Amino acid sequence: MKGRADMAMLSEQSEEHPVLRQMNMDDLPAIIEIEHEAFTLPWTEEAFRNELTMNHFARYMVLELNGYIVGYAGMWTIMDEAHVTNIAVREAYRGRKLGQLLLVRMMEWAIELGMIRMTLEVRVTNEAAQNLYRKLGFSGAGVRKAYYSDNNEDALIMWCELPADGESGNGKEA
Ligand SMILES: CC(C)(COP(=O)(O)OP(=O)(O)OC[C@H]1O[C@@H](n2cnc3c(N)ncnc32)[C@H](O)[C@@H]1OP(=O)(O)O)[C@@H](O)C(=O)NCCC(=O)NCCS
């Protein structure tokens, strides 16, 4: 019998309609699965539950293909700054511009919410993510030393100025 992931991949080959929507509590088992696949310091389910129920600054989005969650992203919107908390795509679905789609949509959401810039931290060795961020207009603006507790790796701090609502995107179609 095929596993859930195999079945989803098979049906996804015949029809590809990415759907982006806000994350809800029912999504958490899938999110935790992806979180463990994507990060060496994964957030717990409780951490996500708190984000969805207690943190009024938090905004989370999932990306589905044929009803199967293949990625997600989150941010905190504080004053006029959006802080990306996490972004991940299932390993089997990487390299198909889905991470880019997620981040572009997060940037659009931030703009809709009145944010004027976006920031994030990324491991200095995470070239794939850094390339994605640079492609969408982020640039490096400093380092947080030994930010990641598993290996004391530094974090590169990146920022992006967001275009005002209604202006054409900067680098989004790149
Ligand atoms: C980072 C991540 C979300 C990218 O998602 P993805 O769907 O595979 O990326 P995309 O296919 O949308 O790629 C968009 C751009 O990102 C960059 N990129 C993505 N994968 C890359 C790789 N393996 N090597 C180099 N650059 C890469 C490229 O600039 C790419 O644009 P291009 O295809 O025109 O060259 C994904 O690799 C992931 O989930 N990684 C684990 C979690 C993680 O590290 N998150 C970031 C934490 S800060």
pLDDT tens by residue, 55-65: 999 999 999 99
**C-alpha span between 81 and 21 (Å, rounded):** 21
60 secondary structure, DSSP code = E
Residue 62: count of CB within 10 angstroms of its CB: 21
pLDDT band at 165 (very low <50, low <70, confident <90, very high): confident
The CB of 63 under 6 Å from ligand 1? The reply is: no
Residue, of 70 and 166, whose pLDDT is higher: 70
Q: Phi, psi at residue 51, to the nearest 5°?
A: -60, -45
Is a pLDDT exceeding 60 seen at residue 4? no
What pLDDT, on a 0 to 100 scale, did the predictor assign at position 171? 42
Structure tokens at 145: 């030393």
The CB of 20 under 6 Å from ligand 1? The reply is: no
Beginning with the edge strand found earlier in the chain, give each strand of the sheet holding 81-89 in spatial order: 18-22, 58-65, 68-78, 81-89, 117-123, 153-161, 139-148
Is a pLDDT exceeding 60 seen at residue 170? no
**C-alpha span between 146 and 101 (Å, rounded):** 30
Residue 89: count of CB within 10 angstroms of its CB: 25
Structure tokens at 63: 């990306």
pTM score, two decimals? 0.89
Helix or strand (DSSP H, E) at 62: strand 58-65
Residue tagged active-site, from 133, 147, 148, 167:
133
| Residue 120 bridge partners (DSSP) | 158
Is a pLDDT exceeding 70 seen at residue 37? yes
Is a pLDDT exceeding 90 seen at residue 3? no
Is a pLDDT exceeding 50 seen at residue 11? no
% of the chain residues with pLDDT over 70? 86
Would you state the CATH architecture of domain 4-161?
3-Layer(aba) Sandwich (3.40)
Q: Annotated catalytic, 68?
A: no
**C-alpha span between 93 and 9 (Å, rounded):** 9
Which residue CA neighbors atom 24 of ligand 1 most closely? 128
What pLDDT, on a 0 to 100 scale, did the predictor assign at position 172? 36
Mean pLDDT across 81-98: 98
Q: Annotated catalytic, 133?
A: yes
What pLDDT, on a 0 to 100 scale, did the predictor assign at position 164? 84
The CB of 119 under 6 Å from ligand 1? The reply is: no
C-alpha 34 chain-centroid distance: 11
132-145 pLDDT, tens per residue? 999 999 999 999 99
Q: What CA–CA distances, in Å, run from 163 to 5, 33, 54, 119, 170?
A: 37, 34, 29, 14, 7
